Amino acid sequence: MASAFSHVIVATAVGKLVQPQGAPWWYWLAGATLSVLPDLDVIGFRFGIRYEDLLGHRGLSHSLLTAVLFAGVISLALPRQNVISASRLFVFLLLAMASHGVLDALTNGGLGVAFFSPFNNARYFFPFNPIEVSPIGVGRFFSQRGIAVIVSEVKWLWLPSAVLVALAILVRRLKGSRG
């Protein structure tokens, strides 16, 4: 899995690309929360749920269907206050949560991601796996291994996210100066 830091950074970059003008604080909080939510599945280890099970790590919680359902429910539940449409919020939340599985499928460890669960529990990786897999657990993250993960994520996720955000800001400014 990618680290929680990187999931939030990528979701924030996505949010910046689709954000309405003056997005409220809850927009960012909802995106950040959904971007890390799938990893709550690691709690299953304590209850004897195996990694490869439907409810195991990178299983149902990482699926596209779960992302659609959570994004739909939350986009309807949040108070939009005429700042953002439900459909625009849905797209952001869907991309924020679905990005979690995408990032995990770019890592070099684990069993893959069950994108199509519960219909198909097969696990997938992308052909290109440049991201160092993050250790499970906070204690193991703050180690030499964790440093290697952060270095990898800065190179493959944080810098590209920063470039996308900078481009989005530049495009908006250019559009604003022409209007």
Mean pLDDT of the region 28-51: 96
Buried/exposed code over 38-77 (b: 16+ C-beta within 10 A; e: otherwise): bbebbebeeeebebeeeebbbbbbbbbebbeebbeebbee
Q: Which residues, other chains included, contact 170 with Cβ-Cβ below 8 Å and sequence gap of 6+?
A: none
Mean pLDDT of the region 139-152: 84
Alpha-carbon distance values, 8 to 11, 33, 96 (Å): 5, 8, 8
Residue 18 one-letter amino acid: V
Q: What is the pLDDT of residue 179?
A: 57
Per the model's pLDDT, the better-predicted residue between 109 and 175 turns out to be 109
Q: Determine which of 12-26, 119-133, 159-173 has the lowest per-residue pLDDT on average.
A: 12-26
Reported confidence tier of residue 103, pLDDT bands at 50, 70, 90:
very high
Q: What is the pLDDT of residue 142?
A: 74
For 139, the enclosing helix (H) or strand (E) is: helix 138-141
Range of the domain at 45: 4-178
Total of domains in the chain:
1
